[in-house]
Amino acid sequence: MKEIQVNVPGFRHDFALVKENRVNQNIGLVDCYRHLAPMVDTDVYMSWLMKQITTRKIPVIKRKVAGPLVAREFKLKKEFSADVIVNCTGLGATNLANDPMYSLRGAVINLVDNSKKIPKLMQAHCVSHDDITSENEIVFIIPRGTEKIVLGAIAEKDSIDTDIHLENYDPIKDMYRRCCEFLPELTKLNINAIDPIRVGLRPFRQDNVRLDREKGSSIVHSDGHGGAGFTFSWGCAEEVTYIVLAMLS
Ligand SMILES: Cc1cc2nc3c(=O)[nH]c(=O)nc-3n(C[C@H](O)[C@H](O)[C@H](O)COP(=O)(O)OP(=O)(O)OC[C@H]3O[C@@H](n4cnc5c(N)ncnc54)[C@H](O)[C@@H]3O)c2cc1C
Report which residue type is found at 120: K
Round to whole Å and give the CA distance between 55 and 38. 26
The yes-or-no answer to whether 42-100+206-248 and 102-204 have a common fold is no
pLDDT in tens, 95-134: 999 999 999 999 999 999 998 899 999 999 999 876 555 6
| 64 Cβ closer than 6 Å to some ligand 1 atom | yes
Distance 12 CA to ligand 1 centre (A): 32
- CATH no. of 102-204: 3.30.9.10
Distance 90 CA to ligand 1 centre (A): 6
Strands 148-152 vs 33-34: parallel, antiparallel or unpaired: unpaired
CATH topology of domain 42-100+206-248: Rossmann fold (3.40.50)
Distance 21 CA to ligand 1 centre (A): 32
Domain boundaries, the chain: 1-37, 42-100+206-248, 102-204
Q: What is the ipTM of this complex?
A: 0.98
pLDDT in tens, 127-176: 987 655 566 789 999 999 889 999 999 999 989 999 999 999 999 999 99
Which among 94, 76, 95 has a CA at the least distance from the CA of 86? 76
